Structure 1
Amino acid sequence: MAGFTDATRVRPDGAGGFDAELDPLWTVGGKPNGGYLLAILARAAVEAAGTHPDPLSASAVYLSPPDPGPAAVSVEVLRTGRSASQIRARLSQKDRTCVEALFTLGALAAAGEPRWVDAAPPPVAAEQDLFPTPAQAPGTGLRIDMLEQFEQRIDWQAVGDPAGELRGWLRLPDGATWDPVSLLFAADAFPPATFTLGSNGWTPTLELTVYVRALPAAGPLRVRQRARLLTEHLVDQVCEIWDSQDRVVVQATQLAAYRMATP
């Protein structure tokens, strides 16, 4: 099992950039997950900045899906301030740009009571009452290797109520604690919400924006993923994540392509 920290590690290349090894165990259909790639870029951004340890926001565009194996990360420090730094990072493979992202880095505190929040955590069946999602669901023909590296439990009784929404839990193995970088992955770790509306599951991310709001308490993450608008070929969906103390720790929006299942 490739732990998340090891699977997202970057190494200075001696020329101002970083080398990364894209792990085949953190893939969907053989291609690295988008949140996993964003976490690799965040590792490089934090190391390049040197002053601010946590990603506060990340916005990535996905240009070309890389393959597992060696990749290069280039980093440009746009600004370094007292409370925040802004960094641009780019992941390339075989002279092809695959992902480009902008980060705002800072220092996060543990989640406290918010002054105001527009929604309470949604009801979800107890974690122990739900089954882990298998890496290859029967009849799908798609293998999701990353599901053997963490626990994803979907509340299937709540699927489609309301329509276009999924709820459930995420947990890292062996009691590992979620941190700001792994939360970037969590924001893209759930199935697409279009699944509840009849899509065939193919939902490549075009753009992903994540806000990391606080350091999470130990334990599982409660996740709600919902589609907001489907046009002919595109969907925008929102992912909201609460820690084990019911505090908001992640908010994310992504634009993705989708296909409806053939009748």
Structure 2
Amino acid sequence: MVELPEFDRHTALEALGEGRYLAVLDGGWHVGGGLNGGYQLALAGAAMSAELAASGKPDPLAVSASYLAAAVDGPGELVVRVVRDGGRTAVVTCDLVQDGVTRLTALATYGDLARDADDVRTTAEPLVLPPREECIGSEFAPAEFRASVPLIDRFEMLYPAEFAGCFVGAPSRQGALAAWFRLKEGREPDPISLLLAVDALPPVTFDLGIPGWAPTVQLTAHVRARPASGWLRLVHRTRNIAGGMFEEDCEVWDERDRLVAQGRQLALLPR
């Protein structure tokens, strides 16, 4: 039997019936005081996709999640409720519950990205990064950082030199981070993995000289198209710090120079 790629194993679900799904959250997605918000969003996205697959609306179009408590590795139950299933889209909710505590609650709109799949138009300028062979892999990060953030080993990330300095005390202070990205084992991107991609980079505050865990308060992802196979390009930007929080805007570009996902996150400033 061929073993599934790591991402698929770590987002596998067991259907329990009546909109309930069992997952085993993997500690390899740990960062700071909990599990990565994008990983949790992908789990919720997979559960909602499974619930809506029979209605022909398998793809997340817009997913908005509030993070109520830090998720931990181990069993969790995803509770899905279809609010409305219309002709083109469905509205659905999902709660991630562990030990009787709701860790995440999400509201989403689902549909079928195969519809009008070739109609992707944008006035945004495609993200231009140096060739991958000129970028720096995340393995260069200090050993103590890597040990505290096993998340870094869940995918391949290649940083332009101007952004790699944030790991060694030399941030560019542009309020931005960008990198090439793909899942381990060359696992091809799809709409569910894009929910992870919008939160895959380190907090953009690293580039402002403020390293550390930045707990996600709220994260919204818009999935605009099914991504082409190959590497993705990610960029995170912030413009404002206020009230001990910062926003983080994300763009995800595919190999065909299409803007396939966008995200906006509100997160707590690292201490």
TM-score by length of 1: 0.91
Instruction: Tell me the residue number matched to 1:200.
Output: 211
Look up the match of 2:250.
Answer: 239
| Residue 85 (structure 1) aligns with | 90
- 1:73 deviation in Å? 1.0
Asked if the contact 2:174–2:208 (Cα under 8 Å) also holds between the matched residues in 1, the reply is yes
Q: Say whether 1:121 aligns with 2:132.
A: no
Question: In the superposition, relative to structure 1, how do residues 206 and 132 fare at CA in structure 2: closer, same or farther (>3 Å)?
Answer: same
Deviations 1:167-220 (A, max 9, x none): 111012233210000110001000111111121222110000000000111111
Give distance in 2, aligned partners of 1:120 and 1:99.
Answer: 33
Structure 1 residue runs without a partner (length 5+): none
1:55 equivalent in alignment to 2:60: yes
Provide closer, same or farther for how the CA distance between residues 162 and 259 of structure 1 changes in structure 2, counting only shifts above 3 A: closer
Q: Residue 70 of structure 2 aligns to a residue in which SS? A: coil
Given that 1:111 and 1:217 are in contact with CA atoms closer than 8 Å, whether structure 2 keeps it comes out as no
The count of residues paired between Structure 1 and Structure 2 equals: 259
- C-alpha spacing 1:68/1:167, structure 2 compared with 1 (3 Å): same
Percent of pairs with identical residues: 36
**8 A Cα contact 1:155 1:166, kept in partner:** no
Aligned mates of 2:120, 2:146 — CA distance in 1: 43
Q: How far, CA to CA, are the matches of 1:126 and 1:227 in structure 2?
A: 25
Structure 2 Cα separation of the partners of residues 2 and 247 of structure 1: 25
Quote the Cα distance in structure 2 between the aligned partners of 1:97 and 1:128.
43
Which residues in structure 2 correspond to 1:93-104 (within 5 Å)? Answer: 93-104=98-109
Match of 1:19 in 2: 22
Alpha carbons of 1:180 and 1:69: their partners in 2 closer, same or farther (altered >3 Å)?
Answer: same
| Local SS of the residue matching 1:245 | coil
Give the residue type in structure 2 aligned to 1:174.
E
Q: Do structure 1's residue 169 and structure 2's residue 174 form an aligned pair?
A: no
- Please say if residues 43 and 181 of structure 1, whose CA atoms lie closer than 8 Å, have aligned partners that are also in contact: yes
Give distance in 2, aligned partners of 1:15 and 1:167: 41
Q: 1:121 to 1:217 in 2, by over 3 A?
A: same
- 1:4 aligns with 7
In 1, Cα distance between equivalents of 2:32 and 2:140: 10
Q: Structure 1 residues 157 and 113 mapped into 2: Cα distance closer, same or farther (>3 Å)? A: farther
RMSD (Å) for aligned C-alpha atoms: 2.2
Amino acid in the other structure paired with 1:217: A
Which residue in the other structure is 1:76 paired with?
81
